[in-house]
Chains A and B, each alone.
Chain A
Amino acid sequence: MKHGRYPFIVGFLVPGLAIYAVFVLSPFVQAFHYSLTDWTGISPEFSYVGLDNFRRLLDDSQFLAAVRNNALLLVVVPLATVGLALVFAFLLNVGGGASGAGVRGIRGSGFYKLVFFMPQVLAIPVIAVIWSVILEPTGNGLVNSALGWIGIGPLGFLADPDLALWCVMWVLVWGSVGFYLVLFNAAISSVPREIFEAAVIDGAGRLATFLRVTLPLLWDTVQTAWVYLAILALDVYALVAVMTAGPGGPDNATQVISLQIAQNGFTFGRAGYASAMGVVLFFLTLVIAVFMLRITRRERVEF
């Protein structure tokens, strides 16, 4: 068996690697290449401009606004999503406290899981349309008519530069919590019940159990979730393009890098320049992923 092993393994690897190289790696390489040119995207001709595109990025007020907004998303979205998902997962599994039958979740936890997961079934543009209707700026909007009952508003929400980005973040968090809830739920389920029961017997309250037991045991999963959410926060194109005015929102309040890439690449005929933005985004994503995985590395808890 042994002498036939390598051809066997290679036989399986090569087609996959080839497809990966053609459809994933080569576009990356090409993007790097085009970022050094003045390619318009609609003509086969272009010339090389060196790092000029990257220099121009530094003076591009819209791109800088996009970077600022992405940075805010990068901080708020993972924090809120992971935080909420962890708390909910904890409540659904352990939150019910101890009883004669051991540790259990709060009542109706199966139902809650289903409800939280619901947004995952919907496509992002559908979510965007639903929320832009809910947040409609006139008194007819669902939220505004509710606010009307208590004498507030109507508020502009997506049309107001002070609120628009927060509304987008809310929708992003709302749409993601369910997935991470299920992820953390699975992770908690794999932790032996005895550990939680021991904690309860030792007199730990809910908060202490959460901070001292649950969180450390789930650290690997949380870390992974964090990286995924960071990447999600760097690409909110569909939500922003469908939900907010502009595009780019009122006064560029929801301008994001992906929107700038699409606009420059397709609408403005500056594919080379857009590729430069893509390269910046690539390194930004890379740095964040490496940073999150390295810096937050902890000793593994074995169980």
Chain B
Amino acid sequence: MSSTYSPSRRALFRQAGLASLAVAGGSSFLSACATSGGGDGDGERAERTDDNPFGVQADAPLSVVIFNGGYGDDYAKYHESLYGEVFPDAEISHKAITDIRQQMQPLFNAGNPPDVLDNAGAEAMPISTLADTGQLADLTELFEAEAIGFDGMTVQETLNPVAIESGVYDDKPLVLNYALQVYGLWYDRALFDERGWEPAETWEDFLALCEEIKGAGMAPLAHQGKYPYYIEQLLWDLAVKHGGPEVAYAIDSLEPGAWENESMKAAAAAIAELKSKGYMLEGTEGLDHIQSQTRWNEHKAAFITCGSWLENEQKEVAPEGFETTLAPTPLLPGAALPFQTGRVEAAEAFIVPAQAANVPGGMEFMRQMLSKEGAAEFTKLTAAPTVVNGATEGLELTPGAASAIALIDAGGDDNWNYYYNKWYTPLEPKIGSAVAELAAGRIDADEFCSRAQAAADETANDPNTVKRTRSA
């Protein structure tokens, strides 16, 4: 739902329409959003107090723009009401849109952006470019401020570490990724109970289970082939759990040979094996997320690759009694990480533009979002966990959300994440293409690794790309 990779059809159409205007001869559309200078944003601050750590001017208006995707915008209205309780004189403007890029790009170019922006969805602005061009306010102040509802802890101390890590560009925290997403294999617990199946922990057992499922006339695995991002999650999970997080560090840092690592090769071979043994739903490589997930709901396939927004996304379609449940990816022989781990990603990128009229107000809004009350309300409304630790305690959760949060908790420090797709946006579709070919059985593991490596090398050698590195 909030995923960048499940573009809604409507969004695509709109983009399609606009771009065909642009194309007939020259990129006239691109340049229609003309550039012009911007003003200074920070403005004057009021006195800083314990209740007002950023010095927000009590009557300064606050403008909030929310991506109106799978999470909706009710949670933001709630956060705005929290802000309004502290600053009753502030006029708050609330805008919920889906075409972030089209509407926000001209405002950024004109130096007139909103105070808080939820830069998410299929049409989010490229976050690394925003960071590199100095468009984002430094959030250090926010993370060092006192958290609301946590007895003297700083905001940073209340957050899952991935929240900070994922928002750092050039050693500065610039982005607040608010929702927590975890990836793995999803299945219907009710169906598995009925058939006496159990998600496997080892690759060997997984293959045996697939054989059994296939024997029962069902496809063992479906994926959203039209968007290779989904099956790429399985590849990553297999590789990193086999070789440890260093596999991801090397790839993110564009190290030579990172994609040809032995663990990545083993993971690619495992995906190819699933295809060659006929364990993938027939034609799944050509289905989009709606088609494949619906088939999975119809029990045409036992497992599907996805992130934790799946349950919410499918709730209109899922039949009565369907228990959406997350299973960790099985382990290849010789795996370095335990079974109960996964890729945990902080998503839904909230930013305060550096040019915003009310930067301190934007940060205060974020502090309200990260309060115990604000975070719990988000999970209540969306069934998705936030980066705030312990905010879901005592909430009654749906099976999908419960299993997702259980995996996040069980994995703890062993959970991992990768960033190459956000750091080097042009590289992602190239890797996606190669993954799609691998999963469709048109190239083998060696060919996949060398193709992915070639694409990564191309990025590494491109002088116009800002390089980033990470290590343990």
Contacts and interface: CB of A to CB of B under 8 A. Distances in A.
Interface of A: 24, 27-28, 30-34, 38-46, 56, 61-62, 124-125, 129, 136-139, 141, 144, 154, 156-161, 231, 234-235, 237-238, 241-242, 244-248, 250-252, 257-259, 261-271, 274-275, 277-279, 281-282, 285-286
B225 A44 contact: no
Given A44-B111, A62-B430, A281-B23, A138 B283 contact: yes
Contacts of A245: 225-228, 285-286, 436
Interface string B411-423: 0000000000000
B226 to A, nearest CB: 4
A137 B101 contact: no
Given A137-B286, A251-B442, 5 more contacts: A28-B28, A32-B26, A41-B129, A138-B284, A238-B16
Interface stretch (B29-37, B142-150, B362-370): B29-37
Nearest to B102: A266
B31 A275 contact: yes
Classify chain B's interface size: 35 or more
B65 to A, nearest CB: 14
B125 A159 contact: no
Contact of A158 (B16, B36, B123, B286): B286
B432 interface: yes
A41 to B, nearest CB: 6
A46 B284 CA distance: 43
B6 interface: no
B16 A237 contact: yes
B70 interface: no
B162 interface: no
Contacts of B34: 30
A31 to B, nearest CB: 5
Given A137-B283, A241-B12, A265 B27 contact: yes
Contacts of B389: none
A129 B12 CA distance: 11
A44 B125 contact: no
Given A42-B135, A246-B433, A269-B126, A286 B25 contact: yes
Q: Which of A156, A265, A270 has the most CB of B within 10 A?
A: A265
B437 A235 contact: no
Given A139-B282, A237-B16, A242-B13, A250 B31 contact: no
Given A41-B33, A42-B133, A159-B286, A268 B464 contact: no
A277 B126 CA distance: 19
A251 B426 CA distance: 15
A251 B441 CA distance: 12
A165 to B, nearest CB: 14
Contacts of A234: 23
A32 B25 CA distance: 12
Nearest to B101: A266
Contact of A44 (B15, B38, B132): B38
B102 to A, nearest CB: 8
B76 interface: no
Contacts of B282: 138-139, 154
B259 interface: no
Given A139-B282, A159-B225, A279-B26, A251 B31 contact: no
B440 interface: yes
Given A261-B22, A266-B123, A274 B27 contact: yes
